[in-house]
A and B are shown apart, each in its own frame.
Chain A
């Protein structure tokens, strides 16, 4: 019996683990892959924190975040994040994160979209990578227990009481039960509902969200999907906002700049999409940027562009497309990270704790995952110390055999790709009532296809196809919920743009919630609590 089980080992999961471990030794982290393979490694640009009080202020950070959320964020949660930002940075710095420094030895800061102040701390353009590796090194130092390559299958909940989880051990092919007093879900976002149009890791498949939904845990704001304006055309490889922050231009086929490069991501991405839909190409132009600045602040981007596109940032224009980057929706939590079921917490991209609202500011996600990861770890551990629980009777679980027994129909990989194309075409940067209705029918068709297929590989040992099968089931659940949420929000706000309702509508200045109540999907608009 563990005190705290954390499912997910990205920045939020590891921060939660380190913080829980300060209170109890009975902490277990479950990773679907390995901690350093997690999505967090891809966060290049930085982490927001006000350090320069002469030119910036915490209230500016709060206001910018709230403004970007299009008034769907909750001021108190945003305040919590922004006010503790400095503490968060100091914590990371102490753990050993090598933040880049300026000439006077202070932590260096750069501009990011949506702000007028230099507020983003960074480690060249490897900020997420260096944070996750430093967190991992500290987990190793603190003897934190890991189960790697274990996929979450289900939550064990009895009469609304949390008891434990079922996980699939990829190596052995067995499902095991694990019990704990509290659970932290930190499984990441759901970007792979657009798997062929996303910068996300292949593993970001919204597992925690879909499983939470099945158990009646309340989800929220699923319609808000952030597209990053600059991914490499053809591969969707992310080119960080730091490129534009350091002065890169966006230009069209005629060489004209057509959008303020440093406005919010949703606006830049839509401006690019309009060009592309008109049959034009859009390029990132870094040719005028000083070579030393590129070398010092964007070594990774330069390398990626060279390795993947065989282009030279000093001489060539870089063809880009917008791609799904971050999902604002998630498991609804309050400021203490608790979900709608007691003893279950959520943090990181899987959670919707009302900080990002309709649109997230660049540099705020690393801040959010670390800040609320720590809060979740601390709270879950504290609660667990006060709780008495007995291990329940073992529940027979046959899900893997059921998958293996299924006859092969349409390939799950084809279904996944078809789903992604449908999502991108009908619930992408622009949405309409008709498109979303078409999409709904398509998803139903994909669900049927999924029900009627299995996998070719029947072996038990390291059968990755089983994980792929389970993930696709989760992606289908989430696609449908995203589609329903997008259909119901008859307005345009932040990343959610309806061609048939182009204006912001005051009546919708509320978060959307979606919940499974006795096998019925209940959708509501609620005040951001």
Chain B
């Protein structure tokens, strides 16, 4: 089996090919095999080997995968995740994670002692299985132009805590996601496709938009309509003629 890996050292980026004569192994096992037998300098992250720590996410043929759960195929290309600073080989900088979670206030702000029903817990079950693997971060086109975007994993987490009956104060959370948040998402759905946990961040973001509107926030991208309304009112009031009125 031939696999190509995008390497990066202090000086340069380069592609390197490796031959592995092993069948039916995971991509992570292939990386381990290379590191242990061919080139020990190959650098990647890994942890639990069972899809729950999220440390081994990489691109295989330009698609985000967890290396431990992705079967190795012949003639594949492995690259580091996109949208992050590459530190070395397949390792990207992860320091933004905590910053995004902090900014979006993805936690219980104020606890309330309330009776929780089975269905209340089920409502946040899927979102709370996020493993912070950064696949959604990598695949998101908004990040490529705006590093301050709160993005899919943080926003999904906000919805998870907003929908948590134990939270007594949702206002701060909704407030925190208005700028560089829910309205900046293009709803392309890449995150939903990339998520190894089958979390639908796109729908989560749409739900947060709905919750925001219900709580008196408005979509800043249609603020121009307010301006138009003012303009119309002004015309109405002053001239009695409005070409845009019905």
A→B interface (CB under 8 Å): 33-34, 36-39, 41-42, 93-96, 98-103, 105, 108, 123-124, 126, 129-130, 133-134, 137-138, 140-141, 146, 148, 171, 199, 201-203, 235-238, 300, 303-304, 307-308, 411, 413-414, 417, 455-457, 459, 461-462, 464-465
Contact = CB atoms under 8 A, between A and B. Distances in A.
B131 A96 contact: no
Q: Is the interface of B mostly helix, strand, loop or mixed?
A: loop
Given A96-B161, A307-B69, A461-B88, 12 more contacts: A96-B107, A98-B121, A101-B118, A105-B118, A126-B128, A129-B52, A130-B128, A133-B128, A133-B130, A201-B49, A300-B52, A459-B41
A417 B87 CA distance: 28
B157 A36 contact: no
A238 B50 contact: yes
A134 B124 CA distance: 13
B69 A413 contact: no
B98 interface: yes
B147 interface: no
B53 A41 contact: yes
Contacts of B47: 33, 37-38, 201-203
A129 B127 CA distance: 12
Shortest 6 CB-CB contacts between residues of A and residues of B: A413-B36, A137-B107, A141-B107, A457-B41, A462-B88, A101-B118
Contact of B164 (A96, A124, A171): A96
A451 B46 CA distance: 26
Given A137-B106, A465-B41, A94 B166 contact: yes
Contacts of B121: 98-101
Contact of A37 (B10, B51, B54, B125): B54
A33 B48 CA distance: 12
Contacts of A130: 128-129
Contact of A202 (B46, B107, B167): B46
B9 A459 contact: yes
A124 B122 CA distance: 10
Nearest to A468: B40
A129 B161 CA distance: 16
B100 to A, nearest CB: 10
A413 B167 CA distance: 48
Contact of B129 (A33, A108, A129, A465): A129
Interface in B23-50: 26, 35-37, 40-41, 43, 45-50
A148 B55 CA distance: 13
A317 to B, nearest CB: 18
A330 B107 CA distance: 33
Interface stretch (B12-20, B108-116, B184-192, B238-246): B108-116
Given A96-B108, A101-B121, A133-B130, A37 B53 contact: yes
B95 A304 contact: no
Contacts of B164: 96, 98
A138 B131 CA distance: 16
Chain B interface bracket (under 10, 10 to 19, 20 to 34, 35 or more)? 35 or more
A379 B177 CA distance: 38
Nearest to A300: B52
Given A37-B53, A98-B164, A457-B41, A138 B129 contact: no
A455 B98 contact: no
Given A141-B107, A461-B88, A101 B116 contact: yes
Contacts of A148: 94-95
Nearest to B99: A140
B55 A98 contact: no
A33 B87 contact: no
B176 interface: no
Nearest to A310: B71
B148 interface: no
Nearest to A139: B98
A148 B107 CA distance: 21
B35 A138 contact: no
Nearest to A465: B40
A456 B111 CA distance: 53
Nearest to A35: B98
A95 to B, nearest CB: 7
24 contacts: A33-B55, A37-B47, A37-B48, A37-B54, A37-B55, A41-B52, A41-B53, A95-B108, A96-B111, A98-B124, A103-B118, A108-B118, A133-B128, A134-B128, A137-B106, A137-B107, A138-B108, A140-B98, A148-B95, A308-B26, A459-B41, A461-B88, A462-B87, A465-B40
B128 A413 contact: no
A140 B102 contact: yes
A37 B53 CA distance: 5
Contacts of B40: 411, 413, 455-457, 465
Given A105-B115, A140-B107, A308-B69, A146 B53 contact: no
A459 B128 CA distance: 39
A455 B35 CA distance: 12
Contacts of A133: 128, 130, 132
A102 B122 CA distance: 11
Contacts of B236: none
A171 B166 CA distance: 39
Contacts of A171: 87
Interface string B81-104: 000000110010011011001100
Contacts of A461: 10, 87-88
B49 A235 contact: yes
B22 interface: no
B230 interface: no
B79 to A, nearest CB: 17
B115 A126 contact: no
Given A101-B116, A413-B36, A464-B43, A140 B101 contact: yes
A95 B45 CA distance: 29
Given A98-B128, A126-B129, A411 B36 contact: yes
A141 B51 CA distance: 26
A105 B117 contact: yes
B120 interface: yes
A238 B37 CA distance: 26
A88 B64 CA distance: 37
Contacts of B49: 201-202, 235-237
B107 A138 contact: yes
A37, A124, A237, A465: residue with the most chain B Cβ atoms closer than 10 Å: A37
Given A138-B107, A140-B102, A140-B107, A201 B48 contact: yes
A464 B26 CA distance: 21
A18 B203 CA distance: 33
Contacts of A411: 36, 40
B37 to A, nearest CB: 8
Given A33-B45, A94-B111, A307 B51 contact: yes
Contacts of B128: 98, 123, 126, 130, 133-134
Contacts of B116: 101, 105
A456 B54 contact: no
Contacts of B117: 101, 105
A413 B39 CA distance: 11
